[in-house]
């Protein structure tokens, strides 16, 4: 494949870049900008929305004696607009707060390969960086992370598992204990286009049984193209939660993602 900074990138090269970017442990460097617009509904609460914008750089580094493994420490910087319910009128929205949310870091190591079965192990951390109490948990949270992917042609299938439990932070805020499992199903259809989904299942172990599980499905389209010498991935993916917390949870989510691919100093 041509280098990601090469101005001779063909449709086949762009399709391969699109496929490789599905792998969290790819050697490609990218800068992901992602917006999530969510419709929130629940029993006895006013319909409302949230809007979250993420900046997520992925700058993998080759490691190991023969440079045959990839290490990545991927930060997620969130900017959030979230509803605040009125404490005097249960179920009614008082206002929306806007600001910086809790920053997350996802660190993992695994084999440097983009074909066949790819796996990785690591850890994940959430820091209480929210600019307002309503935009974060107020807790330091950490736990294990793992991934498994089948990098085929034309199919890519994968799972990314993360778990967080609070261990420090504001003593007046509630303890957290949450698991997330992102499942990825994507199929290349040629020319840098692909179809599929990558929603995240969430399970809150601290909630009542009827409010623990969020299970979304989705179907989106991705196009990887070139702006000048730079490949850029763009994705549009609506998602619907077939299961969500009874009290209040995300029913619909519209995800828009743009990810420029930048030149890695480790790739020739």
Give the CATH number of the domain where residue 104 resides.
2.40.160.40
108-117 pLDDT, tens digit each: 999 999 899 9
Q: Which helix (H) or strand (E) holds 11?
A: helix 11-20
How many domains, in total, are found in the chain? Answer: 1
Tell me, what's the pLDDT at 88? 76
Whole-number Å distance between alpha carbons of 116 and 93: 49
Whole-number Å distance between alpha carbons of 146 and 161: 5
- Locus of tokens 């695994």: 110
Is residue 73, in this structure, part of any structural domain at all?
A: yes
Is residue 102, in this structure, part of any structural domain at all?
A: yes
Pull the structure tokens for residue 146. Answer: 């793992």
Q: How confident is the model at residue 229 (pLDDT cuts 50, 70, 90)?
A: confident
Q: Which of 147, 145, 75, 153 is nearest to 114 (CA)?
A: 153
Is residue 32, in this structure, part of any structural domain at all?
A: yes
Residue ranges with strand state E in 102-176: 103-111, 116-127, 139-151, 155-169
Whole-number Å distance between alpha carbons of 169 and 167: 7
> In Å, how far are 85, 94, 247 from 88, measured between CA atoms?
9, 9, 17
Global pTM reads 0.91
120-154 pLDDT, tens digit each: 999 999 999 999 999 999 999 999 999 999 999 99
User: What's the domain range around 65?
Assistant: 11-258
């Amino acid at each position: 494949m041509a280098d990601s900074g090469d101005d001779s990138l063909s449709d086949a090269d762009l399709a391969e870049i699109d496929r490789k970017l599905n792998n969290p442990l790819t050697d490609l460097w990218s800068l992901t900008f992602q917006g999530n617009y969510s419709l929130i509904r629940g029993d006895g609460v006013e319909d409302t929305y949230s809007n979250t914008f993420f900046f997520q750089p992925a700058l993998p580094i080759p490691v190991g004696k023969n440079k045959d493994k990839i290490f990545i420490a991927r930060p997620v910087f969130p900017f959030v607009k979230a509803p605040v319910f009125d404490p005097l009128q249960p179920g009614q929205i008082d206002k929306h707060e806007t600001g910086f949310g809790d920053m997350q870091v996802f660190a993992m190591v695994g084999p440097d390969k983009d074909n066949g079965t790819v796996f990785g192990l690591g850890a994940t951390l959430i820091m209480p960086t929210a600019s307002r109490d309503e935009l974060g948990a107020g807790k330091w949270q950490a736990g294990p992370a793992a991934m498994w992917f089948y990098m085929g042609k034309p199919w890519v299938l994968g799972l990314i598992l993360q778990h967080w439990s609070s261990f420090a932070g504001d003593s007046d805020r509630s303890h957290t204990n949450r698991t997330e499992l992102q499942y990825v199903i994507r199929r290349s259809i040629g020319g840098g286009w692909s179809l599929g989904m990558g929603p995240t299942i969430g399970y809150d172990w601290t909630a009542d049984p009827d409010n623990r599980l969020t299970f979304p499905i989705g179907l989106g389209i991705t196009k990887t193209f070139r702006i000048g010498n730079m490949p850029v991935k763009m994705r549009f993916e609506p998602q619907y939660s077939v299961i969500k917390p009874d009290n209040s949870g995300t029913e619909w989510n519209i995800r828009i993602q743009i990810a420029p691919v930048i030149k890695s100093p480790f790739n020739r």
